[in-house]
A and B are shown apart, each in its own frame.
Chain A
Amino acid sequence: MHAEATTVLSERIARRGVRLISAVVLGFLIAPMLIAIPLSFNASTYFSYPMTGFSLEWYGTILSSPDWRRAILNSFIIGAGATAIATALGTLAAIGISRPAFPFRSLIVPLLISPMIIPIVIVAVSLYLVFAPLGLINTHLGVILAHAALGTPFVVITVAAKLMAFDRNLSRAAAGLGASPWTSFRRVMLPQILPAVATGSVFAFATSFDEVVVILFIGGTEQRTIPRQMWAGIRDQINPTILAMAGLLTVFAVILFLFMDVLRRRNSADA
């Protein structure tokens, strides 16, 4: 009886402990967004509470500054270009590696996901080395190609994971009914893997959207993206404008999160 009581007690303590730690950790994760970002509405330039007054001045500065507007535009142009390449090449490759007959799997799969693992500075320095003689330094094309390479593993992994669950009999049935491989792909396989392709492309876009080291090395002033512009700002003299940009990006992150949640639901509903 006594042993059981201590068991129940220790279990309760353990459960409380887990909850307490989780509360602290989740607080730690969300704190920067909840506490720092509101300071972008502060009327003064100080980064501390209490705020001296509410102001949208810093957000206005972003919209009126040509530097920030160019950065926002660049982020979307480069992100879109890189995502298009990464999604097309990554989806094709995922279809290849998820076929049972795929050869040299243990050799090629690590190669395909290596852009995710190799330290980004090494990638940036290497690209400078090769892109400089080709005239790809300080060009949008150079940055797009680099970001596309970094984004492909995310597409490959998400699409391949979905294809592992794909019922190949459906493709066989389509072929048996006279569909060409292309029609079979378009009408049978693609609708099934589309949510996964979308998920992968959002990952690829986020990778490009967040990337700053490669741009530091191979991009020029004309290729400055949002994170690159923020980096320059923090290095120079941090000001509330950067925090306002951080606020906009947080809103963007929440939108991405909601979008991904919708995709996740569709993904699991189809499976």
Chain B
Amino acid sequence: MERISLGRAKNRVDDLQAGYRATRRREAWRAFLLVVPLLVFLAATFIYPIGKLLLLSVRSDEVADAIPRTAAALADWVGPPTLPSPQTFDLLAADLRRASDQGAVAVAGRRLNNYEAGFRTLLLKTARQLPATSDRPYSEVLPEIDKRWGEPETWRLLKRAASRDTPDFLLRAIDREMTSDGSVVPVQRSQSVYLDAFARTFSISACVTLISLVLGYPVAYLLATLPARQSNLLMIFVIVPFWTSLLVRTTAWYVLLQPNGVVNSLLIKLGLTGAPVALMFNRTGVLIGMTHVLLPFMILSNYAVMRGVSPLYQRAAVSLGAHPVVAFVRVYVPQTLPGIGAGTFLVFVLALGYYITPALLGGASDEMISQLIALQMDQQLNWGLAGALSVYLVLFTLAAYFAFNRFVGIDRLRLG
């Protein structure tokens, strides 16, 4: 009798548990379904496009598409110092003849120019001067059209470019290239630009972050400790610039910082300088413009945390004999670390991707990585390199994000 009811009770508990789990699953599904429309939208307009760009950094289809049979033959060629087999020459002639009608040679040539200037011209010239038929082997004809076809190095570059998967863009984006024996070496000093640009992007972002913290922390402190009425009034000075268009603020600085602008005439009137100082189209202009745009983020992040910090602990420390400065540094500041973390992260990450302000207020030597990405895509049409530079920039951004999430927690990110 007892055993039976126990068994029944156990069954009931199992049923309840199963029912509870099913309910939980259903609730999880319902919650998830609400997010699906946004996920689908972002997948189409954000995640897929960015994934596609980043993948371009390891893809190189132009040459393989234009001269497919040559590409296949070159894959088996061991490389310099020997030349490819005579059949490869024949295949290139056939491929070029077929492709020249489709304009694909020009596209392939542009890709080859990434490796060596003049390659595009070589390819187009060869395609143009190729005889309709020839009774001699093309291993003799092609070097007569251009002697570079007789050099193994030309074929090595063609083979590299014809490979569909390539590490070359990712290497080039950090000023490295692969030599004929497969080792990775730095590119010539004159061509090495990207590592410097990354370093510059970092140092500008770090400078702006540091300046914003040093300037913003006291302001946030004052706003958080003043009576509400005064604090709300002063807050206008932070929020109105925050809501004002980036272009407006950059325009305003563009006007103020000109050689005969307001700031310079003030400096001259005060006798601080005799002649106008260069305040724009250089690092000074970039730092002023970027700090002005990003400082409100730092102030607001710190303010949000400081408002919740009780002054009692600091007072207790002082009444127990701590010097006020010591009490501030050892008791107050640690309580505001989440605010410092949130502000530092926001300002640094936003600064990493800056484009407009350095483009308008900076000079040629202040180019940030965003500008170089735009340049590769806009003028050089080098999608692979644009993708490779983006890969590194995204990696740095994600690293900053995970560091922030680990030490501060993304929940700390609040707006307004």
Contacts and interface: CB of A to CB of B under 8 A. Distances in A.
Interface in A71-95: 85, 89-90, 92-93, 95
Interface string A132-156: 0000000000000110110010101
Judged by DSSP, the binding face of A is helix
Contacts of A130: 48-49, 52
A17 B356 CA distance: 34
Interface in A206-242: 206, 209-210, 212-213, 217, 226-227, 230-231, 234-235, 238, 242
B115 interface: no
Nearest to A231: B247
Judged by DSSP, the binding face of B is helix
B215 A21 contact: yes
Contacts of A36: 251-253, 255-256, 262
Given A22-B222, A93-B34, A122 B416 contact: no
Contact of B292 (A28, A96, A115, A212): A28
B254 A103 contact: no
Interface string B14-45: 00000000001001101111110111011001
Nearest to A114: B46
B311 interface: no
B284 interface: no
Given A26-B238, A121-B370, A112 B42 contact: yes
Given A30-B241, A32-B252, A36-B252, A127 B215 contact: no
Interface of A: 7, 10-11, 14, 17-19, 21-22, 25-26, 28-33, 35-37, 39, 46-49, 85, 89-90, 92-93, 95-97, 99, 101-104, 108-115, 117-131, 145-146, 148-149, 152, 154, 156-158, 161, 199, 203, 206, 209-210, 212-213, 217, 226-227, 230-231, 234-235, 238, 242-243, 246, 249-250, 253-254, 256-257, 260, 264
7 contacts: A18-B221, A29-B295, A31-B256, A32-B256, A109-B410, A110-B401, A203-B416
Question: Closest 5 interchain pairs by CB?
Answer: A119-B353, A96-B34, A32-B252, A126-B49, A36-B252
Given A97-B35, A119-B370, 9 more contacts: A29-B237, A36-B252, A48-B260, A118-B50, A119-B393, A120-B370, A122-B373, A210-B247, A250-B240
